[in-house]
Structure 1
Amino acid sequence: MRHTLPLAPQFYVTAPQPCPYLDGRMERKLFTALQGEQAAELNDALSKQGFRRSQNVLYRPSCTECSACLSARIRVADFKPSKSQRRAIRRNTDLTRRTRAPWATEEQYDLFRHYLDDRHADGGMADMDVFEFAAMIEETPIKSRVIEYSAPDEDGGKSLAAVCLTDVLDDGLSMVYSFYDPARAGDSLGTYVILNHIDLAREAGLPYVYLGYWVPGSPKMAYKARFSALEIYTGGRWTELADPAAFSSEPHPLSNDPIAEQVAQITLPHAAPVRR
């Protein structure tokens, strides 16, 4: 007899730890396991409610006095590139795109290490070894792809310039994690990968590209607000980001509801019961 896991997620909260985006803050996450035959449906439903995937876990910031992290997505049909974004497209016309199954390679890891050592040497992923990298890429219970961007090299072959781990949702593409050759930082490769994902979503008839979290006050996340047709998830709904300056990163003791209320407000696929 075949047994399956019921879709009755249990939600947990992490212990506070230093925030990677805002100095002097402590972050806390609400999370649940992503497993079973209905993992894709759960991922689709919770992604629409500000959650992100990391391997087989779905999480959302749930800090005590801070609500600065806002899930962001681009509305593909209404997106129009800026002048600087059009320049980024022109600077990267030498790149070719390849879509692969979520399987880690040594070339990917070498580029990943080069990227971290140059851009995020003191970040939370700085000590990630090859086995942890493989787990990040390969441990996915849903439809995921590795999008590789390669450039011609001096030997007449091609070498990796950028990589993005991407989830395919029922309403869009979710950019789980991307990295690129820091030697080409002047080519705006990070911006180009997002622009190319907008093209991919448009070709697939998907309405959104999910970018992760935009954090007002964080220089690391400022680039996301430069994309037109950007929506953020706040107050339990998606709304267009009209004026980034209108959002504050200042903490407030009444920023977030108690955890039990947050969990009670989560909508699950097929109205499955919530266990907490």
Structure 2
Amino acid sequence: MTAPFRFPRFFVTSPAPCPYLPGRQERKVFTELNGPHAAELNDALGRIGFRRSQGVAYRPSCAGCSACVSVRVVAGQFRPNASQRKLLRRHEDLEVTACRPWATEEQFRLLRRYLGARHPGGGMAGMDEEDYADMVEQSPVDSVVIEYRERPVEGAGKGARGRLVGACLTDRQADGLSMIYSFFDAGDEIRPGLGNLIIMDHILRAHAAGLSYVYLGYWVKGSARMAYKTRFRPIEVLGPAGWSRLAEPVADPG
């Protein structure tokens, strides 16, 4: 007998300094994802702007501010521009593998280098190996870690794996892929643009799987840290009336 669906209970966090807009406070509403209907609940909440973190779904609920906007790429209509096509060709030698959500020491070392290069003072700067394992392994939904590796060096032997240059913890939802957290070798001058490559790979992967969207989390207009998200067109934003196409033109960075 199937367990009955229970309407979730929502909670609100205490205000904390906003990581994106100086001088403002952030607050989040959240609920637990557990029980036999966790995946269904996560899908439904994802369509109205929630994000998953381990066994919790959350979204901003800031007093007097609605700057954080959920965004998703329409996978089937994405057409890479000239710069994006160049980036795909540049990294076409990478081997991409969807792995079960199991944390490895190699992934953690890459994450630490990424945080040190891109977010040295961020909220994840103090994450240790146990914290990382919790982030990856405590998932009540269908999750994978997608790894991006260079090919093994010649003569490395059977079963050898190449250098890990990128990874992304990804949820498969009913209508798309949700990129929970991606990280990569941000200091590798030979392989620029790995973050953009990982997003494009997810878009192509979603389309090949017959999924409509790739959820990129939140976008803050005017935030330089968030600008990269709107380079992937067409992209939709979630507003009071639902999802709509973001029409503002974005100059090709190339």
Q: Would the aligned equivalents of 1:55 and 1:140 in 2 still touch at CA under 8 Å?
A: yes
Taking the TM superposition and a 5 Å limit, the aligned residue runs for 1:162-241 are: 162-184=166-188, 187-241=192-246
C-alpha contact (below 8 Å) 1:216/1:244 kept by paired residues: no
Give the match's secondary structure for 1:184: coil
2:224 maps to a residue whose letter is P
Q: Work out the CA distance in 2 between the residues paired with 1:5 and 1:224.
A: 38
CA distance in 2, matches of 1:33, 1:104: 22
Q: How much does 1:3 deviate? A: 10
- How many residues align structurally? 244
Report how far residue 152 of structure 1 moved.
Answer: 3.4
Q: Cα offset for 1:205?
A: 0.4
Cα distance, 1:140 vs structure 2:
0.3
TM-score w.r.t. the length of structure 2 is 0.91
Deviation by residue 1:212-232 (Cα, 9 ceiling, x = unmatched): 011112111000111111001
Alpha-carbon shift at residue 84 of structure 1 (Å): 1.4
- Equivalence for 2:61: 62
Instruction: Determine if contact 1:102/1:137 at 8 Å carries over to the other structure.
Output: yes
Q: Per chain length, whose mean CA-contact separation is higher, i.e. which structure has more relative contact order (CA < 8 Å, sep 6+)?
A: 1
User: Residue 225 of structure 1 contacts residue 244 of structure 1 at CA under 8 Å; is this kept in 2?
Assistant: no
- Contact 2:117 2:187 survives alignment (8 Å): no
Residue 86 (structure 1) shift: 1.1
Amino acid of the structure 2 residue aligned with 1:17: A
Q: List structure 1 runs of 4+ shifted beyond 4 angstroms.
A: 2-6, 153-157
Q: Which residue of 1 aligns with 2:163?
A: 159
Partner SS for 2:39 = helix
| Equivalent residue number for residue 150 of structure 1 | 149
1:110 alignment partner, SS class: helix
Counterpart of 1:183 in 2: which secondary structure? coil
**Separation (CA, whole Å) in 2 of partners of 1:5 and 1:28:** 31
- Percent identity over the alignment is 52
Structure 2 residue identity aligned to 1:182: A
Q: Which residue of 1 aligns with 2:14?
A: 15
Amino acid aligned to 1:104 = A
Using a 3 Å threshold, how does the CA distance of structure 1 residues 71 and 244 change in structure 2: closer, same or farther? farther
- TM-score, L = length of structure 1: 0.84
- Segments of 5+ residues of structure 1 without an aligned counterpart are 246-276
Conservation of the 8 A alpha-carbon contact between 1:5 and 1:37: no
Deviations 1:238-274 (A, max 9, x none): 00010179xxxxxxxxxxxxxxxxxxxxxxxxxxxxx
What is residue 87 of structure 1 aligned with on the other side?
86
- Specify the code of the residue in structure 2 equivalent to 1:176: I
1:6 Cα deviation after fit: 4.8
Moved more, 49-58 or 181-190: 181-190
State the AA in 2 paired with 1:126. A
RMSD between superposed Cα atoms in Å: 1.8
Using the TM superposition, give the Cα deviation of residue 153 of structure 1 relative to its aligned residue in structure 2, in angstroms: 5.9
Q: Tell whether 2:146 aligns with 1:141.
A: no
Cα shift readout 1:102-152 (whole Å, capped 9, x = no counterpart)? 100000000000100111010000000000000000000010011000013
Distance 1:237 1:32 in 2: 21
- How many angstroms apart in 2 are the aligned matches of 1:37 and 1:168? 17
The 1:95–1:6 alpha-carbon spacing in structure 2 relative to 1, beyond 3 Å, is: same
**TM superposition shift of 1:159:** 1.0
Aligned to 1:267: none
Q: Is the 8 A contact 1:6 1:36 kept in 2?
A: no
Query: What's the secondary structure of 1:131's corresponding residue?
Result: helix
What letter corresponds to residue 12 of structure 2 in structure 1? Answer: V
- Cα distance in structure 2, aligned partners of 1:46 and 1:142: 13
Within the alignment, does 1:46 sit opposite 2:54 as a pair? no
Shift of 1:7: 2.0
